[in-house]
Amino acid sequence: MDRITLPERPEWRAKAAELGFTFADMHGEPYWDESSAYAFTLEEIEGRIEDPCTELHAMCREAVATVLADEGLMERLGLPRLRWEFIRDSWEAGEPELYGRFDLAYDGKGPAKLLEYNADTPTSLYESASFQWLWYEEQVAARVLPEGSDQFNRIHEALVERFAEMFAPDTDLHFAAMAGAPEDYATVETMAWAAREAGMGAHYTDLEKIGISDQGQFTDAEDRVIGTLFKLYPWEDLFADEFSAHLASAQCRFIEPPWKALLSNKAILPVLWQMYPGHPNLLPAFFADDTKGLADAAHLMLAGHVTKPIFSREGASVTITAQGRVLERATNRDYDRHPMIVQGYAPLPVMGGMRPVIGAWVVGETCVGMGVREDRALITQDLSRFKPHFIEG
Amino acid sequence: MKRSRAVSLGILGAAAFGLAACQQEEQTDAAAFPDEASCVAAAAQSGWFTREDCAATFAEAQALHAETAPRYESRELCEQEHGAGNCGGDTVAGSGGGGSIFMPLLAGYLIGQALGGGRAMAQPVVPKAGGGYATPTGGTQLSRLNSTGKMGTAAFAKGPTTVGQPPMTRAAVASRGGFGGSAATRSVGG
């Protein structure tokens, strides 16, 4: 793993604007940054990222079965008891998963360590699957990158194949995101493109415009019944919304399926550590009130520990502590009221003054691609930059 | 090779004119105006609509507003959806079911080029609470008037008739918008 300075494509900003990538700059800072890129070897990609993440996903599926069979663990996940049956039914019915993103700390030396699994509402799909791919193709054409190099990015093709496995041809799928967040919309529209390529009918609706029909089915902004809903909106939030009472009876299939609520939850991290203690890709993790577990594992967390709420997005309410001192505390504390977990601290490598996090994409049950985000801060938050990567030839 | 052979590249962007929708519907030239005079003022440069189109579509938008604008059982409920001061009594005499009925005022109209020729299409727009405008069904939304761009032809589909129908109650209004209330941050992704 290396961070290499490369010439930028001269016209990339115009290209981004033309393609609708309107958030290439965000909050007055560059978000897409191709002034340098991360280089990996093929052995590294396959042995350290791809195969471990496919295995991690399989372990996560085992963890879902374990949690569903254990009421005490279900309690730990902080999801309303009224919806447990709905979640369990989706697992027992074998409702297939579409996608997810593992966030990994990887320094090019030891094994990649799982920080968390964005198993329900991962974003940055457009920049990973599409704009990053275009960057690679154009840099090869410009001879900036050599023939014989590659990129770990089968995300788009894998999504097309997965949609075709999940649904009969011409199935109508609805895609919903909250209005007014272009980065969320880009993920949803990228997904909708893949669905259309797989032969599905893809329709967009703002999440807030979803209604309920006289027969108790969900309807879109134009009153069409929603048979299948891809919702870029967390399950724990859906469960707290007014319409949650209709979820089980609306005859609607959801993507991601409800059981993904167990995996996007940080409470799954201590469960995984209980099931697979010492696994090379896991960090020790405990519920914050598990004082005995934490005391027994003190020797495993000498580098420090990280406190995270079970529900959180984009690093909110995360605190890193080492030697009894707070190293960094996220400024966004929106999730402070939730139960916490404690995870061993795996410092991110520092490369060119930045700290990269690997986002490894899982489609279906297989790891199929990746993206890198980097941040100056210890906690990767919403001001991080997206960096392209390539595999050396 | 560990990458896709081909990838679809474009995203429309949520900031596009009107509501960027994914469905593959036909796009047409469209413009939004607060009144007929603004339309007439823009007709010379437009190339696809005339002063006569402005007059005809404005009359049609007024008629569609009377026929299809949402109707509410109270002014309070109407203003909750369309903003304070933006509602009035039913404009169609004698249509009420005995009680009083309130509807949003006509804020302007959309004019659209008919695909394959023919008369320009029209739709009324009404104010939305919190700013912006929408067609009577709410299916197409605009951030501002006096704007032009491409728009899906579905924006010009006539909404259901509301005149003479019982007005919406609070329960009926609440049957939309039951999701989205719990998002902790503006962007929900991770």
Q: What is the ipTM of this complex?
A: 0.89
Asked if the structure places residue A334 within a domain, the reply is yes
pLDDT of residue A10: 96
- Do residues A226 and A323 both lie within one domain? no
pLDDT of residue A312: 82
- Do residues A178 and A29 both lie within one domain? yes
Asked if the structure places residue A274 within a domain, the reply is no
Asked if the structure places residue B94 within a domain, the reply is yes
pLDDT of residue B25: 63
- Do residues A231 and A326 both lie within one domain? no
Average pLDDT of chain A is 94
pLDDT of residue A373: 96
pLDDT of residue B12: 57
Q: B127 is in which domain, residue-wise? A: 25-185
- Do residues A330 and A359 both lie within one domain? no
Q: With CB atoms and an 8 Å threshold, state whether A233 touches B188.
A: yes
CA neighbours closer than 13 Å in the CB half-sphere of residue A13: 6
pLDDT tens per residue across span A23-54? 888 778 889 999 999 999 999 999 999 999 99
Distance of alpha carbon A103 from alpha carbon A360, whole angstroms: 6
- Do residues A95 and A182 both lie within one domain? yes
Asked if the structure places residue A278 within a domain, the reply is no
Q: How many domains does chain B have?
A: 1
Asked if the structure places residue A270 within a domain, the reply is no
CA distance A250 to chain B (A): 13
Among A245-254, A372-381, B5-14, the range with the most confident prediction by mean pLDDT is A245-254
Q: 0.90 cut: is pTM over it? A: no
- Do residues A157 and A302 both lie within one domain? no
Closest residue on chain A to B159 (Cα):
A222
Nearest alpha carbon to residue B48 among B151, B118, B109, B108: B118
**Per-residue H/E/C for B38-49:** HHHHHHHHHCCC
Asked if the structure places residue B19 within a domain, the reply is no
Asked if the structure places residue A146 within a domain, the reply is yes
Asked if the structure places residue B168 within a domain, the reply is yes
- Do residues A319 and A375 both lie within one domain? no
pLDDT of residue A68: 98
Residue at a domain's end among A311, A327, A344: A344
- Do residues A91 and A209 both lie within one domain? yes
Of A70-74, A339-343, A374-378, B182-186, which range is least confident? Answer: B182-186
CB contacts < 8 A (A, B): 189
CA distance A172 to chain B (A): 10
pLDDT tens per residue across span A133-167? 999 999 999 999 999 999 999 999 999 999 999 99
Distance of alpha carbon B11 from alpha carbon A124, whole angstroms: 13
Asked if the structure places residue A113 within a domain, the reply is yes
Low-confidence ranges of chain B (pLDDT < 50): 13-23, 184-186, 188
CA distance A82 to chain B (A): 17
Cβ-based contacts of A186 with chain B (< 8 Å)? 11, 13
Closest CB to A182: pick one of B3, B13, B190: B13
Q: How many domains does chain A have?
A: 2
Q: With CB atoms and an 8 Å threshold, state whether A207 touches B180.
A: yes
Distance of alpha carbon B14 from alpha carbon A174, whole angstroms: 16
pLDDT value at A348 more than 80: yes
Q: A306 is in which domain, residue-wise? A: 284-344
Closest residue on chain A to B23 (Cα):
A203
- Do residues A241 and A301 both lie within one domain? no
Cβ-based contacts of B162 with chain A (< 8 Å)? none
- Do residues A119 and A135 both lie within one domain? yes
- Do residues A131 and A17 both lie within one domain? yes
- Do residues A212 and A337 both lie within one domain? no
CA distance A225 to chain B (A): 13
Residue A191 touches chain B, beta carbons under 8 Å: no
Asked if the structure places residue A276 within a domain, the reply is no
